[in-house]
Amino acid sequence: MILMGSPKYIEYIERLARGEMLTHNEFAELIENRDDGLMEYAARKAVEIRIREYGRDIYVRGLIEFTNHCRNDCYYCGIRRSNSSASRYRLTPDEIIECCRAGHELGFRTFVLQGGEDMSYSDDTICSIISSIKTLFPDCAVTLSIGEHSYESYKAYFDAGADRYLLRHETANAEHYSKLHPAELSLENRKECLWNLKKIGYQVGAGFMVGSPYQTSRDLAEDMLFLYELKPQMVGIGPFIPQHDTPFADHKAGTWQETCFLLSLIRIMLPRVLLPSTTALGTIHPTGREKGILAGANVVMPNLSPVNVRDKYLLYDNKICTGDEAAECRNCLQARMNSIGYDIVISRGDSRQEGYIKK
């Protein structure tokens, strides 16, 4: 069967692929009118561009979820501070280093330290963890994903050796932002953090959830415009998935179709972006991560956290791989990538955007 999208929207995709930016209205229309034909067209274009820029290489990042304590109370997130059912844990600096050691043997050359905003790790502790990792594994990149901090803290982590920082903006529309977060959190501050990270010299990752409560096509269009303005080296997107102990327990999950369509549009708009096919996508569909790669993604982020804490970092329900050892995760993903004609490579997998490899 040959699928055909509407010629009008095919033309929008073509324009984007030629490097022309769409307007807010055009993005909203394109996202609103997604059908199988458009999805397939966008995916084909995105894969063409990804193959031109990065070939069939898939980069891996070893994710270390080192704390699920958090001072924030985001309505969607399972480790929000008012979730009294969450069983809380913290890894010690030594335990984190152990995860890196195991990961390095398995071929990981990027470690992502992710956690809630847990103020019990001082800046000095974070800095000493970063510099130990960089000393022990000088061929590796360190990525932080620990939320909102001051310019000075970000600068200190960078000077200690951190290379990259992931901070999803979550939604680029302020009104929508206020429906997902309590009043003490603001889009303005989130964006300022992202600009600060860029200014300091990090490779920066922004991103958002697809199908989060109250999200409209116009909000997603705004996300696209913001990404174009920020030009991050990485973009993390995944479907929203409800968590049963949060205020959004009864909201619907995002779909893999919409997530994949947006992955394709992001690849087309930012050809050199590093784009993960996320665990959340793998959670809502058994071959979600493969679908993400086939829509234009080029990164996977298997979990390196110790198995005894895996099932505690539960941002959303039914998270996959919570019982697997790091090696199992890596092998499983390797097999999944091979099954669709791609290869996991042993590399830091830096952005090909100019000027972003730290000296």
Least Å from the CB of residue 97 to ligand SAH: 21
Least Å from the CB of residue 100 to ligand SAH: 19
Least Å from the CB of residue 159 to ligand SAH: 21
* Residues of this chain that bind ligand SAH (CB under 6 A): 76-77, 114, 116-117, 145-147, 167-168, 170, 209, 238, 240-241, 243, 280, 315-316
Q: Which is nearer to ligand SAH, 238 or 292 (CB)?
A: 238
User: Where do we find the tokens 């990164």?
Assistant: 299
Least Å from the CB of residue 195 to ligand SAH: 15
> Residue 24 has which token pair?
């807010």
Dist. CA 182–CA 145, nearest whole Å = 20
Least Å from the CB of residue 51 to ligand SAH: 28
Residue type, 218: R
* Chain length of the chain: 359
Residue 142: closest CA among 106, 207, 96: 96
Q: Which is nearer to ligand SAH, 101 or 244 (CB)?
A: 244
Q: Which is nearer to ligand SAH, 9 or 76 (CB)?
A: 76
Q: Which is nearer to ligand SAH, 146 or 220 (CB)?
A: 146
DSSP alpha helices (H): ranges in the chain? 7-17, 24-32, 36-54, 93-105, 123-136, 151-159, 174-180, 187-200, 217-230, 256-269, 279-284, 288-293, 307-310, 326-339
Least Å from the CB of residue 283 to ligand SAH: 9
Least Å from the CB of residue 165 to ligand SAH: 9
Torsion angles phi and psi, residue 144, rounded to 5? -105, 145
Q: Are 80 and 180 in contact (CB under 8 A)?
A: no
Q: Which is nearer to ligand SAH, 241 or 333 (CB)?
A: 241
Least Å from the CB of residue 114 to ligand SAH: 5
> Residue 33 has which token pair?
């009118």
Dist. CA 70–CA 92, nearest whole Å = 16
Dist. CA 95–CA 128, nearest whole Å = 14
> Residue 274 has which token pair?
């590093």
Q: Which is nearer to ligand SAH, 77 or 294 (CB)?
A: 77
Contact partners, residue 306, CB within 8 Å, separation at least 6: 91, 95, 98, 99
Apex 354 CA angle, 348 and 359, nearest 5 = 60
User: Where do we find the tokens 């913001």?
Assistant: 226
Residue type, 305: S
Q: Which is nearer to ligand SAH, 209 or 326 (CB)?
A: 209
Q: Which is nearer to ligand SAH, 246 or 334 (CB)?
A: 246
Dist. CA 58–CA 67, nearest whole Å = 27
Q: Which is nearer to ligand SAH, 160 or 167 (CB)?
A: 167
Least Å from the CB of residue 124 to ligand SAH: 20
> Residue 4 has which token pair?
């055909």
Tally Cβ neighbours within 10 Å of residue 213.
18
Least Å from the CB of residue 201 to ligand SAH: 19
Tally Cβ neighbours within 10 Å of residue 51.
13
Q: Which is nearer to ligand SAH, 196 or 334 (CB)?
A: 196
